[in-house]
């Protein structure tokens, strides 16, 4: 049995791209496997960029509510908040003392971020070693991540090997499992949906917002009765990501024969999203109105996580001579 662990950034209410590209596949993977699964909200990493306590807290809440709404089963997955496990920052310090400064200066994510964010703090620089602690603290075997995170896993393996080499076998060396962007969900401008591009579609922000976002999807200017190309239409592409084959074929026929206008196709898409995610939307509102329940689930998860973390940290402390 392998231990699978991954972290999600708490960047606010997840959009349709996050749901179809990350949340739903991750939940399915946890359900289908016989492995142990750990999932946490990386709110300590968020502090590198967000300093407003209310915003940090709200982002954690909405992220947790969305995962729970999409069906995350806390009896199968240890679901916790990174900041509830202070052992993480202790291990991160030890790792920093085993990793050459020069190597960290080569991290792509730091180079990219330090060119764009306003405040380049040391936390941003040390980000990969906090991530290494997240992983090593739980003796994780497999870490599912997107392509952009591979270098962080390499750093994690590297620092664990360095510590093991000097102190004797102490930490488990994890492996990355690269989650291919199976489907890039397009935003309202046809580009990859992304919060920073302001092109998102959000099912959790109310029916009106959803309908408004869908109505502003860019299309060509073909009239109602003109034949249309389904493959080059964002409305149709999104519809294909959520509907079943029969409905997709029906809309395709209408596009090709010129018997539907973009306005009506957009209405169909809104209805389809609202229908498909009705349960998740209701559950999201439920959790947003029962924040104490989300809090309690996270605390139960954090308490399980801390037990595992304490064991690993005990091993490391002993090797370093901090406890006998």
Residues identified as active-site: 113, 192, 195
Which one among 2, 11, 49, 222 touches ligand AMP, defined by CB under 6 A? 11
Choices 80-88, 132-140, 189-197, 286-294; region in contact with ligand AMP by CB under 6 A: 189-197
Choices 27-35, 49-57, 128-136, 237-245; region in contact with ligand TRP by CB under 6 A: 128-136
By the rule CB under 6 A, 176 interacts with ligand AMP? no
Which one among 22, 26, 124, 135 touches ligand TRP, defined by CB under 6 A? 135
> Furthest-apart CA pair in the chain: how many Å?
80
Nearest one of 153, 146, 208 to 180, comparing CA atoms = 146
CB 193 within 8 A of CB 201: yes
CB 96 within 8 A of CB 132: no
CB 171 within 8 A of CB 136: yes
The DSSP-derived string for 121-190 is -HHHHHHHHHHHHHHHTTT-SEEEE-GGGHHHHHHHHHHHHHHHHHH-S-S---EEEE---SSPPB-TTS
By the rule CB under 6 A, 206 interacts with ligand AMP? no
By the rule CB under 6 A, 146 interacts with ligand AMP? yes
- Could you tell which of ligand AMP, ligand TRP, none binds residue 41, using a CB distance below 5 to 8 A set by kind? none
Q: CB of residue 74 vs ligand TRP: minimum separation in angstroms?
A: 19
By the rule CB under 6 A, 178 interacts with ligand AMP? no
Both structure tokens of 222: 């073909």
- Phi/psi zone of residue 52: left (φ > 0), alpha (ψ -120 to 50 degrees), beta? beta
Of 180 and 208, CB closest to ligand AMP = 180
- Could you tell which of ligand TRP, ligand AMP, none binds residue 45, using a CB distance below 5 to 8 A set by kind? ligand TRP
Beta strands 36-41 and 3-8: pairing type? parallel
By the rule CB under 6 A, 41 interacts with ligand AMP? no
User: Site residues (CB under 6 A) for ligand TRP?
Assistant: 6-7, 9, 42, 45, 131, 134-135, 143, 145, 149
């Amino acid at each position: 049995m392998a231990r699978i662990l991954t972290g999600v950034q708490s960047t606010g209410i997840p959009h349709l791209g996050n749901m179809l590209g990350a949340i739903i596949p991750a939940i399915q993977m946890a359900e289908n496997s016989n492995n142990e699964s750990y999932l946490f909200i990386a709110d300590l990493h968020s502090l590198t960029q967000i300093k407003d306590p209310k915003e940090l807290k709200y982002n954690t809440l909405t992220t947790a509510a969305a995962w729970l709404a999409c069906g995350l089963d806390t009896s199968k997955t240890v679901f916790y908040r990174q900041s509830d496990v202070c052992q993480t920052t202790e291990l991160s310090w030890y790792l920093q003392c085993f990793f050459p400064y020069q190597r960290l200066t080569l991290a792509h994510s730091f180079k990219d971020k330090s060119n764009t964010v306003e405040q380049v703090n040391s936390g941003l620089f040390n980000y990969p070693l906090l991530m290494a602690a997240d992983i090593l603290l739980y003796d994780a075997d497999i870490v599912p991540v997107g392509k952009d995170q591979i270098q962080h896993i390499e750093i994690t393996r590297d620092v664990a090997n360095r510590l093991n080499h000097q102190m004797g076998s102490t930490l488990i060396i994890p492996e990355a499992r690269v989650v291919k962007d199976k489907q890039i969900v397009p935003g309202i401008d046809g580009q990859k949906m992304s919060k920073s591009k302001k092109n998102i579609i959000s099912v959790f922000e109310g029916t009106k917002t959803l309908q408004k976002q869908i109505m502003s999807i860019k299309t060509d200017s073909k009239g109602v009765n003109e034949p249309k190309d389904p493959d080059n239409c964002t409305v149709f592409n999104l519809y294909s990501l959520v509907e079943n084959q029969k409905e997709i074929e029906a809309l395709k026929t209408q596009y090709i024969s010129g018997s539907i206008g973009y306005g009506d196709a957009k209405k169909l898409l809104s209805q389809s999203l609202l229908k498909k995610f009705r349960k998740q939307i209701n559950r999201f509102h439920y959790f947003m109105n029962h924040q104490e329940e989300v809090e309690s689930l996270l605390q139960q998860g954090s308490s399980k996580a801390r037990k595992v973390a304490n064991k690993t940290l005990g091993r490391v402390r002993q090797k370093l001579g901090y406890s006998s």
